[in-house]
């Protein structure tokens, strides 16, 4: 069983189009990072942030000042060099791999199943008040959960009657769950 979930996109990629962390090549033994233009960073330093260990990588200022791709890399024309924060090796490799995988169609199709399940849970919580039990005791709480699930199923099934067998009404837009079911059955 593999837990599938999205990894937040590189926040710097939204701020400044150009080179992202994935474009840089780490050398874990030498503790350096190489930029797409071939410049190697100073050895990185371990830092602490938000209670987690990070690796702070700083590139030499003279190399960044003279680089033709400075605007793409640093996002600024000021007298700065590129600074990148890495996770420890195992976590950084996982994050890079997952960011690359989540851009594929196969990953999106696989994640759509989880998204459909989460939408169902969200619907029962928000529309049917599943988090707030109206009864006391495990047996009565269990009955409420069963009835809520059955009611959710009935509401969803009511949109699947053959044409002409249900009373005329304005069609509802298809929910994410219905769209997911249609794509999986086609």
Nearest to 125 by CA among 154, 111, 145: 145
pLDDT tens per residue across span 27-50: 999 999 998 888 888 898 988 878
- CB–CB of 83/57 below 8 Å? yes
How many C-alpha atoms does 149 have within 13 Å on its Cβ side?
8
Q: What is the pLDDT of residue 74?
A: 62
Euclidean distance between CA atoms 157 and 10, whole angstroms: 41
- CB–CB of 127/120 below 8 Å? no
Across the range 141-155, mean pLDDT stands at 87
Across the range 133-147, mean pLDDT stands at 88
Q: What is the pLDDT of residue 30?
A: 92
Asked if pLDDT for residue 15 goes beyond 70, the answer is no
pLDDT tens per residue across span 54-103: 999 888 888 887 888 777 776 665 677 888 889 999 999 988 888 888 88
Backbone dihedral angles phi then psi of residue 53, each to the nearest 5 degrees: -80, 130
Share of the chain above pLDDT 90, in %: 13
Question: Which of residues 109 and 167 earns the better pLDDT score?
Answer: 109
**Vertex 57 angle, CA 56 and 60, to 5°:** 140
> Could you tell me how many residues make up the chain?
186
| C-beta atoms surrounding 34 within 10 Å | 15
Question: Which of residues 78 and 137 earns the better pLDDT score?
Answer: 137
- Chain-wide mean pLDDT for the chain? 83
Q: What is the pLDDT of residue 152?
A: 84
């Amino acid at each position: 069983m593999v837990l599938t979930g999205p990894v937040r996109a590189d926040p710097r990629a939204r701020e400044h189009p150009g080179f992202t962390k994935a474009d840089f090549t780490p050398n874990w033994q030498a503790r350096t990072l190489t930029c797409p233009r071939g410049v190697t960073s100073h050895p990185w330093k371990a830092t602490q942030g938000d209670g987690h260990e990070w690796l702070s990588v700083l590139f030499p200022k003279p190399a960044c000042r003279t680089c033709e791709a400075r605007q793409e890399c640093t996002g600024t024309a000021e007298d700065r060099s590129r600074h990148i924060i890495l996770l420890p090796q195992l976590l950084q490799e996982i994050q890079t791999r997952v960011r690359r995988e989540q851009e594929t169609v196969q990953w999106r199709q696989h994640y759509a199943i989880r998204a459909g399940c989460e939408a169902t849970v969200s619907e029962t919580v928000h529309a049917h008040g599943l988090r707030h039990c109206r009864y006391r005791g495990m047996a009565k709480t269990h009955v409420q959960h069963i009835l809520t699930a059955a009611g959710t199923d009935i509401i969803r099934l009511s949109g699947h009657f053959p044409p002409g067998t249900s009373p005329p009404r304005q069609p509802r837009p298809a929910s994410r769950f219905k769209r997911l079911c249609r794509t999986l059955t086609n």
